[in-house]
Chains A and B, each alone.
Chain A
Amino acid sequence: MKRLDKNEELCIACHACEEVCSKAFFKESNLEKACLRIIEGEKVKIINCTQCGVCIDICPVEALSRGSNGVVRINKKDCVGCLMCVGFCPEEAFFQHDDHVEPFKCIACGLCVKACPTDAIFIKQ
């Protein structure tokens, strides 16, 4: 299964990962539209999807499914925007923005990994 993993101790909270993600997904630089989040504090926290699949069963319209590489994807056409996946994600790594009806999540594409200067995030197979 392909998924994003992390080593939070290495994170310097430069937010380059969020930026590249939101640009890839929404064609704009907006940290609130990234599929992962860097939370600054005494210790930096990285909120990321583990592809655990809890959201698949929560979705009332079967808009979420696991692909052959193990990644959970959303079918925006079927999604009704109920945001139950956002509320029920155990990692709180399913995101939404009021500009969009459908929520969004990490698909382990790896763009953020390339942008990360410290190897704090990486793709695990």
Chain B
Amino acid sequence: MNIENMKNSHKLLKKYDYKLGTIDKGYTNRTLYINLDNNTIKSKAVTEEMKEKFIGGKGFGLKLLWDAVKPTTKWDDPENQIVIASGPVGGITQYPGAGKSLVVSISPLTGIVIDSNVGGYFGPYLKFSGWDALEIQGKADKDVIIAIDGNTGNVRIEEAPLEAVDGHVLGEQLTEMYADSEKDKRHISVVTAGTAAEHTLIGLLNFTFYDIRRKVARLKQAGRGGIGTVFRNKNIKALVVKFSGVKSDLNNPHDIGLINRAGIRLHKEIRKFDDNQCRMRQVGTANIIEIMDEYDLLPTHNYKFGSHPDTYKIASNVFRDKYLTQDKPDGCWYGCSMSCAKAADKFELKTGKYKGDLVTVDGPEYETAAGVGANCGIFDPEYILENNFYCDTYGVDTISFGTLVAFVMECYENGIINKDITGGLELNFGNGEAAMELLHQMSRGEGFGKIAGQGVRRMKKIFVEKYGADPEFLHDIGMEQKGLEFSEYLPKESLAQQGGYGLTNKGPQHDEAWLIFMDMVNNQIPTFEDKAEALHYFPMFRTWFGLCGLCKLPWNDIVPESNISAKEPAKIPEHVQNYVDIFNGVTGRNIDKEELIVQSERVYNFQRIFNIRMGVGRRVHDAVPYRSVGPVTVEEYESRSERYDKQLIEDVGYNPEGKSTEEKIKVMREYREDQYEQLIDAVYKRRGWTMDGVPKVEKLKEIGMDLPQLIEVIKDLQ
């Protein structure tokens, strides 16, 4: 198919011309609204109050989405939106990790807001084109592309019948189509989903950046919560933004020196220490595969265990030595010297519709290797790369895919489902061939892949209602909460991390709090109050990245020399100050590290109340499956019986001598579940919430977030 034919087949539905405007201290002060029901395109003003209360990024997304939906809105209702925003700091090039886009929508998996933080050039280019955020509402009749030209100032909605749907093909086609030359390709960023996003609820969005050395459109993923499914449901094939002229001062920052100095400091730290710390530049986030295994934290066999004798086969150095191209600048935005966006080049696919093609695989990230690999008992690096590639191009989330396949495999091995139900797929742990086929079925919308693609929560219901499964057992082993599949850390031995997963707004994703080492390994937060403080501070601190258009990784995946003598080393105080500096440097405001937390608290509580407004977000919804808390089965208990017996004696005061494993599991469970409830009490108290998990009016007043629409939702729940 030639690009010219594709382009000629486009039918222009709407063209909107706009004045380019200027960016003032990180803000364009307007957002772009598009409704595909009637092809409306308009500009909306950003108020000072909106900047004060919501900052930007995910904060803007949540605010705009709140205004767009009703408490009854479902993910596939036309009024549901996909909102994409950078943030006030987004687009600076001097500080690593400053090009993130924040995407929010009502999730098909959870029915509440999902937010996803993604790299690629789209967010910064959107802002430089004149828009702090992009709202897309309504549904197109036929597949459309929305194209923004940020240099000439126009937005086009075009029917696009001929282009591919799969991300890696479509990304290339549109980069080629909208660029005037090879050199112009770097000025294009494309957002796509993929074919499996159409048939499952775990669809993701790919955000591209053009890799000028590999000469390929790289794909970064807004993975969690099914936003790609919403995208395809709206009949959007792709979004394209084109902008040339990136410079470090395009945000018109208040004090560029503050930003320059912080950026150079961090670049130097990464140069000096990364090879001996996290090796992000060599292997990206995959550096922790073997570390997690060593600490019994790498989920294997649907989170039954935390390590496996075969982990060495998928250790980070295997990817580094055999597959990942080294010494390329792998930043997903300019200036990211952490460069964790690794890639395997010329990887030959063995299965599926692109079999035999030599492709560039983005990743694998730790989550992918752990999820589709270890958690499914598949310790094969080439399977992981192939699965990673197909998940991306088909547009499904590797985390949800890994966790739901692991669940399916445990159900299969327990006889809850069988070959008749799976259409002949022998979904035992370790069967990579069957798991690949399941993924291809998701792309084709066929067979058991279509059922699995509904996610763990819906599968549990189907298995109980259609196949007579024991609902309690499925509830225990189905690793989802609020409808979202758990990400890939085994939290059984860290109470704080159980809370880190359970007490999240969007569902069990580790981006709010990752406390395992602080809690379990270093024992820095022994009491409930300590854990509650950590479950207040870290989720708030981490929320802030998403308000500003930033990445979390350069905060603590590189540690400065000053940390040795820092009072609170887990916070990486020097880097916290960097963030204060770059925020003030861009916006001209004068926040300190305490105000930074309050900025997040406003948005965090807003999101919690958004959940409550949608019927979720109370204590009952913060319960977690017991598989994440302790050993469900005899097999699990006995695999670590020495550890558990010791805990029964020392922590519970129970003598396991002569007791059956079943009895010991029961006593252990009562103890651990009680611990989790006590943790919830402490965290709610620290966060200023009622014991039912509802933010208190006085808390909202304290943080300046007592907005009438919020009070309305919670006033009768105090």
Contacts and interface: CB of A to CB of B under 8 A. Distances in A.
Contact of B212 (A62, A82, A86, A96): A62
A61 B186 contact: yes
A80 B267 contact: no
A87 B248 contact: no
B331 A60 contact: yes
Interface stretch (B222-230, B234-242, B257-265, B518-526): B257-265
Contact of B248 (A58, A60, A81): A81
Contacts of B329: 57-60, 84
Contacts of A58: 329, 337
Interface of A: 57-62, 80-84, 86-88, 96, 98, 101
A12 B540 CA distance: 54
Given A80-B334, A82-B335, A96-B264, A87 B271 contact: yes
Given A82-B93, A83-B335, 18 more contacts: A58-B337, A60-B334, A60-B335, A80-B246, A80-B247, A80-B248, A81-B247, A81-B249, A82-B248, A82-B263, A82-B335, A83-B264, A84-B267, A84-B329, A87-B265, A87-B270, A87-B337, A96-B264
B94 interface: yes
B331 A87 contact: no
B335 A61 contact: no
Closest CB pairs A-B (n = 10): A87-B267, A81-B248, A82-B335, A82-B93, A98-B257, A60-B329, A87-B268, A80-B334, A80-B246, A80-B93
Contact of A87 (B213, B247, B263): B263
Nearest to A79: B247
Nearest to A57: B327
Interface string B270-314: 110000000000000000000000000000000000000000000
B451 interface: no
Contact of A80 (B265, B270, B335): B335
A57 B227 CA distance: 36
B266 interface: yes
B256 interface: yes
Contacts of B186: 61
B256 A98 contact: yes
Interface in B440-462: none
Contacts of B337: 58, 84, 87-88
A17 to B, nearest CB: 23
B524 to A, nearest CB: 31
A81 B94 CA distance: 7
A96 B337 CA distance: 17
Given A81-B247, A84-B337, A88-B271, A96 B93 contact: no
A9 B270 CA distance: 32
B267 A86 contact: yes
Contacts of A82: 93-94, 248, 263, 334-335
Nearest to A87: B267
A96 to B, nearest CB: 6
Contacts of B335: 60, 80, 82-84
Contacts of A98: 256-257, 260
Nearest to A81: B248
B238 to A, nearest CB: 24
Contacts of A62: 212-213
B678 to A, nearest CB: 46
Contacts of B212: 60-62
B271 A83 contact: no
Contacts of A96: 260, 264
A60 B328 CA distance: 9
A86 B271 CA distance: 11
Given A80-B93, A98-B256, A86 B248 contact: no
Interface in B668-693: none
A28 B38 CA distance: 58
Nearest to A89: B271
Contacts of A57: 327, 329
A61 B256 CA distance: 21
Given A80-B93, A81-B94, A98-B257, A87 B264 contact: yes
B455 to A, nearest CB: 37
Contacts of B331: 60
Given A60-B335, A61-B186, A98-B257, A83 B267 contact: yes
